[in-house]
Amino acid sequence: MTSTLSTRSLKVGVIGLGWAGQQHLAAYAELPDVDVVAIAGQETDLLNSLGEEYNVVHQLESWTDLLDVPDLDAVSVAVPTFLHATISIAALERGIHVLSEKPIARNGEEGQLMVDAARKAGRVLEVAFNHRLRQDIQELSRVISAGEIGRPYYARASWLRRRGIPMLGSWFTNRDKSGGGPLIDIGVHVLDYSLHLMGEPRVLSVSASTYSELGPRGLGGSARETADQGRGSAFEVEDFASAFLRLEGGGTLILESSWASYRDPEDLLDFSVLATEGGADLKVRSAKQFSPGELTIYRDTAGETDDKTTSLTTEPGHPEVVSTFVKHVLDPTTWAEQDGSLALNRARIIDACYLSAAEQREVQL
């Protein structure tokens, strides 16, 4: 950065123009003193239309060209997972702050390289975990943190889909490009908000199983995606995963994630917890649409059942993810703490889950 941020607007770029990239772009556009000066993507029509809509000066097909835009302060990386590390490290080495989409990378090894680059450059590296910012999850976090249900000791959480393979035959179903299936794609959200709700306990060990029963048969996606399957990758990842996590202090967390399974047609995102003085259930139907969550708190008062259920509306979390990232970029005192370590922790746990499933044993962390 060649000039002081206090005297000019923050100059940002967005790499990747799919759904996630568009969320970042829209969020930046709503912030004062932030200028989106560059976007990069290979979809020419989308590049032109978004560039015109947001009045972006530099509309580029190559991410390498975007990183060469003068005085660029920060960049969002919203591309397929196999490119996260390459692009993020290149940006950090140029002194550019990075907000990457989840997961941090295909595995913990790549994630560590990203964290190392952020620390060496003295720049911010954050990963977009937007679901922890849902209003219902934030309210449950408040209840648990305030001690209203006592000490949590057992939790179960999931994100389950009936037909939700993102794109059959795409990079999502190619193990080398994606790093895995629903566990690393949507399960990482479940892992993140669950550990957040439970107070960030250290995971001591995992025992996991993965299944690939529907995807290899061309099931679990839309009719169009099924028809296109033969044009791309074979289905090389799981379509369902389950994991048992032992937590420091004696707690337990059970995780489930599926892209495709014979269950209720609506997506289900949930979290249930048992604690010493109460419990809670959070259920969100049609999670992809950020529908309201139903939160029930279970407690007894004077020996009588005193359960309460509320329905909490919510908005997609990307605006807050982006605004928080911008706040950190504008405050150099936060840079050392925002180095991607939390996202790396999630990646290490998922690595252990995949190893456990492959070797059919419990894995220590």
pLDDT tens for residues 22-52? 999 999 999 999 999 999 999 999 999 999 9
Is 85 domain-assigned? yes
**What is the pLDDT at residue 314?**
73
246 and 152 in one domain? yes
Per the domain annotation, does 333 fall within a domain? no
Q: Is the dihedral of CA 292, 259, 199, 318 positive or negative?
A: negative
For residue 127, what pLDDT is reported?
98
126 & 145 share domain: no
Confidence band, pLDDT 50/70/90 cuts, at residue 292: confident
User: Is residue 335 a part of any domain in this protein?
Assistant: no
Report the domain count for the chain: 2
CB 72 within 8 A of CB 13: yes
Q: Are 353 and 243 in contact (CB under 8 A)?
A: yes
| Domain stops at, among 103, 130, 157 | 130
Q: Which residues, in sequence order, are bridge partners of residue 203?
A: 247
- Residue 57 pLDDT greater than 50, yes or no: yes
C-alpha Rg value of the chain to the nearest Å: 21
Nearest by Cα to 185 from 20, 26, 361: 20
pLDDT interval class at 6 (50, 70, 90)? low
Residues 110 and 144 in one domain: no
Same domain as 212, residue 185: yes
Same domain for 115 and 239, yes or no, is no
The residue to which tokens 């940006």 are assigned: 91
What share of the chain has pLDDT > 70, as a percent? 94
Domain ends where: 66, 100, 130? Answer: 130
Instruction: Please report whether residue 36 resides in a domain.
Output: yes
Kindly tell me if the per-residue pLDDT of 60 is higher than 50. Answer: yes
Binned at pLDDT 50, 70 and 90, residue 87 comes out as very high
Place of tokens 């889950």: 353
Q: Check whether 228 has a pLDDT greater than 50.
A: no
pLDDT averaged over every residue in the chain: 94
Mapping DSSP to helix (H, G, I), strand (E, B) and coil, where does residue 209 land? strand
Is there a single domain that holds both residue 109 and residue 214?
A: no
Per-residue pLDDT tens over the stretch 124-180: 999 999 999 999 999 999 999 999 999 999 999 999 999 999 988 899 999 999 999
CATH of residue 159's domain is 3.30.360.10
SS3 329: helix
Same domain, yes or no: 113 and 161: no
| Residue carrying the six token digits 């090389």 | 236
**DSSP category for residue 331:** -
Cis peptide leading into residue 103 (ω within 30°) = yes
For residue 325, is it within any domain? no
Asked whether residue 362 is domain-assigned, the answer is: no
- Asked if residue 273 and residue 202 are part of one domain, the reply reads yes
* Residue 223 or 108, more confident: 108
Q: Are residues 91 and 137 located together in one domain of the fold?
A: no
Indicate whether 176 and 117 sit together in one domain.
no
User: Of all residues in the chain, what percent carry a pLDDT higher than 90?
Assistant: 89
| CA dist., res. 43 & res. 16, Å (int) | 9
Token digits of residue 79? 């591309």
In a domain, 326, yes or no: no
- Is the pLDDT reported for residue 8 higher than 90? no
**Same-domain check for residues 160 and 126:** no
In CATH, what number is assigned to the domain containing residue 97?
3.40.50.720
The whole-angstrom separation of Cα 102 and Cα 127 is: 6
How many CA atoms lie less than 13 Å away from 188 in the CB half-sphere?
A: 31
pTM for the model stands at: 0.94
Task: Please give the C-alpha separations between residue 157 and each of 7, 11, 71, 154, 194, in angstroms, as whole numbers.
Answer: 46, 38, 43, 10, 7
Range of the domain at 147: 132-315
Task: Please report the pLDDT score of residue 78 as a whole number.
Answer: 98
Phi-psi region of 159 (alpha: psi -120 to 50; beta: other; left: phi over 0): beta
* Residue 230 banded pLDDT, cuts 50, 70, 90: very low
158 and 183 assigned to the same domain: yes
HSE (CB half, 13 Å, CA atoms) of 135? 12
Could you tell me if residue 323 is inside a domain?
A: no
pLDDT of residue 5: 61
Burial of 100 (0-12, 13-18, 19+ CB in 10 A): buried
User: Is a pLDDT exceeding 50 seen at residue 227?
Assistant: no
Listed range (73-87, 199-213, 303-317) with the worst mean pLDDT: 303-317
Q: pLDDT for 273-286, tens place per residue?
A: 999 999 999 999 88
The pLDDT assigned to 98 comes to 99
